A and B are shown apart, each in its own frame.
Chain A
Amino acid sequence: MSRPALCILIVLGLVAGPGLADGFLTPLGSIAADQRTHLIRVTAITMIAVAPVLIGVPWLLWRYRRGRKGPYRPHFEFSVPLEFVMWGVPTLIIIVLGYWLWKATIQLDPSDPRGPDPLQVQVVGLDWKWLFLYPREHVASVGTLVIPVDKPVQLQLTTDTVMQSFMVSALAGQIYAMPGMVTRLGMRADRTGTATGENTQFNGEGFADQKVQVAVLSPKDWQDWMDAARAGPVLDAQAYARLARRGNLADARKTLGIADGPLRLRLGDDGLFRHIVQRYHQGQGVSAAQQPGAPGYRPQGEGS
């Protein structure tokens, strides 16, 4: 492909992309917005080192092609000023970028919810759906994450199967979720709207189905949503054990008996998340029959 065509392709992508799908190029919150700014900055600075190659190589190939009359210096093998520039300019760039990297990483600490008194949401990755628990509100939701606008949110994540990675790119970066361990992710949405999230760490057949619908609601709408959930069926230990079986959202609907509308339930046990994490630290093995996500998993005999 010729270089002009290549450039057009990249420009097209960068221009058209944001209008078509949601991601951190169309951020819904300040975290993703800051990540985007950082990306642009890093690109711009690194281009100082890259542009001379993109421009210089075609020029060199044309100017010094064999057959052209002009200077030929077959023994030119060292030049002190050139060495200073070649080593020095990239080093300076790295120093600048290193400083920004340091600042940005601290400022955009993934576990930081950007505000006081965050809403606590516990996230359990299952095969192949996400379970969201709101312990203080006594609500559970499968496949849908609702958060109030303008409020810091603190997610605590784990899985009950294998390593997964939770990301809502319009709001924040991703974080791995691992069984027996708890990771933390902070989010904060600046305006109401919807976004999608996903699992980015391959975990089997239904990996492509493991999406999240994120709804950023006004405080009143969020309260109504929570009230409606508490009026619905209960997620108790038995229901959870059946939910944890391998399957996607459609399977979860059948398991929980909720044919349409959001998959929201009343949370029967506020300590469910802690039990899920602690299950792997009881000093006894978790057999295939007891392990959600395993082909041999059998929900009876499951306890929280």
Chain B
Amino acid sequence: MSPWFGRLNWWVTPFSDAIANPNTNNLVAAGAAALVVVGALFTLYFLTRRHLWGRLWHDWLTTADHKKIGIMYVVLALVMMARAVIEGVIMRGQQAAVLHGGFLSADHFGELFSTHGTIMIFFVAMPLIIGLINIAVPLQIGARDVAFPVMNQVSLGLTTAGAALVMVSLVIGKFSTGGWTAYPPYTEAVFNPGVGPDYWIWAVVISGFGSMLSGINFAVTIYKLRAPGMSYMRMPLFTWTALCTAIMLIYAMPPVTVSSLMLALDRNLGFHFFTNDLGGNMMNYANIFWMFGHPEVYILVLPAYGVWSEVASTFTAKTLYGYTSLVIATMAIAVISYTVWLHHFFTMGQGNSVNIAFGIATMVIAVPTGVKVYDWMATLWRGRIRMTVPMVYLTGFFILFVIGGLSGMMLANPTIDYQVHNTLFLVAHFHNVLIPGVLFGMLAGIHYWFPKVFGFRLEERLGLWTAWLWIGGFCLTFLPLYVLGLLGMPRRMPSFSDPAYAPWVLIAGFGALVLLIAMIMLFVTLWVSARHRDRLAVPLGDPWDGRSLEWAIPAPAPEWNFAVIPRITAREAFAVEKARGDPYTRPTAYQDITLPKNTALGASICMAATLMGFALVWHIWWLAALGLGLIPGALIVRAFVRETERVIPAAEVARAHDAWLDAIARAAGVTRDAETETANRGLAAPDE
């Protein structure tokens, strides 16, 4: 332990472990660390070689444009997803191989399930939803940007700092083995004195702040920046779900920040919030954590529900059925989700009355959820359904998610939960709702809005293959886990000895490989589509015959989104205009547009927070203080900047917008028959 380097020393990398003891387990760990180092170095080399630093800095890292920030969130999510999926495959592989000895140590397995869960929730699912909301909501409500564009940057920076800490933990030190929930007293210093739980704590606390700020940003955006005439009941459903998600983020993130910081105080300063002795109470941690944890999963799924509403109406060419019901159901889910947290620990020994109350509340959420599913089915009824990539994901959702809902109803019963809590039944349930729910929703949303921000569609055939692989891979990997859970196999087990489990474990292992291929296909789809972007280009902006405002602007959307802020007179404003025959009206006058200037605040806070987090993990106190001090320091410097905005002259706006309107006037639209062909340049012809 040194004052300059804290508890850092040369022997904290998997490289030194592998040199000291080159068994399979250590080689796997060293290989993973090597991948991170090589990947980072390669990225630096690539950026330098192609002279991309300038563009990276000016166009991306210092921008306050919500569309670009949204894209960066999605990129972060996809990178972290690659790691977390591979970790899932390795875990399934270990279990499949364990009757022949396996290849991972129990500790390594412990790190794997902890990073897998932590990354998937905080650094894949959260960035995906925040990214999509960033991209779509301002466009859907007719705004130029979110309410606080620079704070948006800061949120991204804080989330990235948390992700960076988790990536660094693969190379320097070890991660926690306490799961994504990090229950004390196992994660207390007396039982786990190493750096693992500290990595978890600071990754979660730092990124949690970022998410909370995003919640504030989105809520204020939707409350205050809607275009004139867009009352609440004229907002698209995705915006409604984004609003409820934002409010939930504001109220759900503080509990996990508090519980994690209390754990940090226990570990670092010897406090007694959750210790075994001197009055500590671990049950308090469970309560506070799940007060965050339960709303969190609804935070993740509500935007997916929003995507389904958009997809169901767009690709059936129908008005969304049951708008009011869907809005009420969304709000009901958001509110009720705060009243069910105890169902995560029915087995902790509290009395029957408490368990009954929370069990019934948990089942009550099924009602609005069911209403939403039926509403989407009613949207399909008497429509003209086009089985595009988003619709395939919606199909997967319909069939598979309700099975997850069924298992959720079972788990809501304390009686049943006493048998299946902490078994693979639980693992099957939450993957069953997260993958067909959240992941499929986000992938559908990416396909849906990709053309709007990038100006070209994604390859349809590759996209369809990817979707079916995700669906099939999910079934093979997770449905067997229901059986294993009912047979009593606990979760988080690096090994098992009961041969009855073996066939199911093998099927799940094979399924994990299918999921890996699905993920690779996703990246292939993105890559190939980028290479064919000219053929797939949809500059006229409306590839899907969309119904809401975002489809009434060019693709890629201009920096200022709308040349003239529209006045809204109906729900599904763009569809109404198209039906009336007067979409794309030329404005009579253009105004100057004021947008935020680029700033390095977000990037600076990201670096400061990463430094601070790393230093706190390794007890390098002077560096932690420096990192912590740099954050308000950056804010204070920003406070003195006088020129924070720039003006885009009306003439420039007019030029770009008129050119686009001229292109529309010249173009021939396509009917939905040609939706996925090159002829589709983004102008929809009426479909009769």
A300 at the interface (CB under 8 A from B): no
CB-CB < 8 A to B472: which residues of A?
A: 1
Would you give the shortest CB distance from A203 to chain B, in whole angstroms? 6
A259 at the interface (CB under 8 A from B): no
A260 at the interface (CB under 8 A from B): no
From B177, B345, B374, residue with most partner A Cβ within 10 Å: B374
Would you give the shortest CB distance from A176 to chain B, in whole angstroms? 5
Would you give the shortest CB distance from B105 to chain A, in whole angstroms? 8
CB-CB < 8 A to B185: which residues of A?
A: 162-163, 179
**Bound-complex Cα distance A77 to B379 (A):** 8
Given the known interface contacts A1-B475, A49-B370, the answer about A73 and B382 at a Cβ–Cβ threshold of 8 Å is yes
Would you give the shortest CB distance from A157 to chain B, in whole angstroms? 9
B276 touches A200 (CB 8 A): no
A206 touches B345 (CB 8 A): no
A53 at the interface (CB under 8 A from B): yes
A86 touches B384 (CB 8 A): no
**Bound-complex Cα distance A171 to B377 (A):** 43
Would you give the shortest CB distance from A129 to chain B, in whole angstroms? 15
B479 touches A9 (CB 8 A): yes
Would you give the shortest CB distance from A296 to chain B, in whole angstroms? 8
**Bound-complex Cα distance A242 to B191 (A):** 18
Given the known interface contacts A64-B385, A77-B321, A176-B345, the answer about A13 and B483 at a Cβ–Cβ threshold of 8 Å is yes
B415 touches A35 (CB 8 A): yes
B412, B418, B479, B672: the one contacting A101 at CB < 8 Å is: B412
Question: Which of the 9-residue segments A103-111, A115-123, A250-258 touches chain B?
Answer: A103-111
A49, A67, A105: the one contacting B415 at CB < 8 Å is: A105
Would you give the shortest CB distance from B684 to chain A, in whole angstroms? 14
Given the known interface contacts A77-B320, A105-B356, the answer about A82 and B370 at a Cβ–Cβ threshold of 8 Å is no
B490 at the interface (CB under 8 A from A): yes
Given the known interface contacts A108-B415, A207-B492, the answer about A76 and B321 at a Cβ–Cβ threshold of 8 Å is yes
B414 at the interface (CB under 8 A from A): yes
Question: Which of the 9-residue segments B137-145, B397-405, B654-662 touches chain A?
Answer: B397-405
B387 touches A105 (CB 8 A): no
A54 touches B282 (CB 8 A): no
Interface residues of A in 78-101 (CB under 8 A from B): 78-79, 82-83, 86-87, 90-91, 94, 97-98, 101
A-B contact count (CB 8 A): 301
B409 at the interface (CB under 8 A from A): yes
A66, A79, A163, A169: the one contacting B488 at CB < 8 Å is: A169
Measured as residues with beta carbon below 8 angstroms from the partner, the interface class of chain A is 35 or more
B264 at the interface (CB under 8 A from A): no
Interface residues of A in 265-304 (CB under 8 A from B): 280, 283-288, 291, 293-296
Would you give the shortest CB distance from A80 to chain B, in whole angstroms? 11
Would you give the shortest CB distance from A46 to chain B, in whole angstroms? 5
A61, A78, A98, A200: the one contacting B422 at CB < 8 Å is: A200
Residue-by-residue, is A164-185 near B (CB-CB < 8 Å gives 1, otherwise 0)?
Answer: 0101010011111011110110
Q: Which residue of B has the minimal Cβ distance to A104?
A: B415
Would you give the shortest CB distance from A200 to chain B, in whole angstroms? 4
B277 touches A53 (CB 8 A): no
A90 touches B367 (CB 8 A): yes
B488 touches A35 (CB 8 A): no
CB-CB < 8 A to B183: which residues of A?
A: 163, 201
B59 at the interface (CB under 8 A from A): no
A54 touches B402 (CB 8 A): yes
Q: Which residue of A has the minimal Cβ distance to B363?
A: A94
**Bound-complex Cα distance A104 to B418 (A):** 12
Q: Which residue of B has the minimal Cβ distance to A199?
A: B490
Would you give the shortest CB distance from A246 to chain B, in whole angstroms? 10
Q: Which residue of B has the minimal Cβ distance to A51?
A: B402
CB-CB < 8 A to B317: which residues of A?
A: 66, 74
Q: Which residue of A has the minimal Cβ distance to B373?
A: A53
**Bound-complex Cα distance A72 to B487 (A):** 48
A285 touches B421 (CB 8 A): no
A14 at the interface (CB under 8 A from B): yes
Would you give the shortest CB distance from A281 to chain B, in whole angstroms? 8
A47, A53, A180: the one contacting B276 at CB < 8 Å is: A180
Q: Which residue of A has the minimal Cβ distance to B401?
A: A53
**Bound-complex Cα distance A284 to B416 (A):** 40
CB-CB < 8 A to B381: which residues of A?
A: 60, 64, 73, 76
CB-CB < 8 A to A60: which residues of B?
A: 377, 380-381, 385
CB-CB < 8 A to B28: which residues of A?
A: none
B106 touches A293 (CB 8 A): no
A1, A14, A42, A207: the one contacting B476 at CB < 8 Å is: A1
Interface residues of B (CB under 8 A from A): 105-107, 110, 177-179, 183-186, 190-191, 193, 276-278, 282-283, 316-325, 345, 347-349, 352, 355-356, 359-360, 363-364, 366-367, 370-371, 373-375, 377-378, 380-387, 395, 398-399, 402-403, 405-406, 409-410, 412-419, 421-423, 471-472, 475-476, 479-480, 482-483, 486-488, 490-496, 498, 500-501, 504, 507, 672
Interface residues of A (CB under 8 A from B): 1, 3, 6, 9-10, 13-14, 17, 20-25, 32, 34-35, 38-39, 42-43, 46-47, 49-50, 52-54, 56-58, 60-61, 64-67, 70-79, 82-83, 86-87, 90-91, 94, 97-98, 101-102, 104-106, 108-110, 161-163, 165, 167, 169, 172-176, 178-181, 183-184, 196, 198-208, 280, 283-288, 291, 293-296
23 contacts between A and B (CB under 8 A): A6-B479, A13-B480, A17-B483, A17-B486, A25-B487, A35-B419, A43-B410, A53-B374, A57-B395, A58-B399, A66-B317, A66-B385, A73-B318, A73-B381, A76-B378, A86-B325, A97-B409, A169-B488, A175-B418, A176-B349, A202-B110, A208-B106, A294-B190
